[in-house]
Amino acid sequence: MQQQSHNIKVWFITGAARGVGLSLARQVLAQGDAVAATSRTLESLRQALGDDSAKLLALEVDLSSETSVAAAVETTIATFGRIDRVVNNAGYGQQGTVEALTDDELRRNFDVNVFAPLHVLRHALPHLRQQRSGHIFNIASIVGFQGGYAGWGSYVASKFALAGLTETLAVEVAELGIKATVIYPGPVRTGFLSKDSLVLAKRAIADYTEAQASLDLHLDGLDGKQAGDPEKLACLILQAAEYAKPPVHLFAGKIANAIAEEKLQAVRADLDGWREASDATDFAT
């Protein structure tokens, strides 16, 4: 086990071979912290981050396998002695209407976007609890806060689940000195819309024209033109990690902030419009 200075933080980052995960891993290393970086293949991590060093541990992990995740966490502890920051970043988009998606398509999406982070949390939390310190970052999406996008029900639902999980987690672990933050990025200029990160439903139903229009927009109009800078998003995560009282909800980018404001206004309008009828469903007092 390598002896780490008290001031050096150890980051466990999933999906670190590309996109936001790679940007974050590089910035963490640049500021002198240590990184346990996971990806589906060791080769992709080597190409992106280079060989292992005193502060870099590359881990080939099948996040859908709890055994694989458990081994990665234990190897990280054996190597660095602790974990201070957990970043559940790995995930992919599943496109397709609710009617068209198969059970297998839905479950695979949730396996990677929801159950994989839960594997990580179950095996990392005992160490954070023992330390009485740590910070968990769950990377959701703005669609995990405002889900009104035709054809993205599976992805939206998985990110809502991750957001709700983070809210509960933040309350559960607060007494243990552990923090939890859900990140809601808007569109980020990564490979998210590439064939490696976006899976199309095997079945398409022609009647759902809005869903097809949304898919066409993302593939033809947004790919490579997203407003979000992955380097600046990584910098935001590093910034939040330094705060004694970080936000539970952290929105990233002007688009995310604007969409969040629209959602809050829409919920307020529904709440106010139906308050009298809603209040009337209680037992009379």
| Residues with catalytic function | 155
Furthest-apart CA atoms within the chain: distance in Å: 69
CB atoms within 10 A of CB 205: 13
Strand 134-139 relative to strand 56-60, pairing? unpaired
Give CA–CA dist 279/15, Å, rounded. Answer: 46
CB atoms within 10 A of CB 64: 14
Give CA–CA dist 24/30, Å, rounded. Answer: 10
Give CA–CA dist 192/198, Å, rounded. Answer: 6
Query: What token pair was written down for 92?
Result: 């992919």
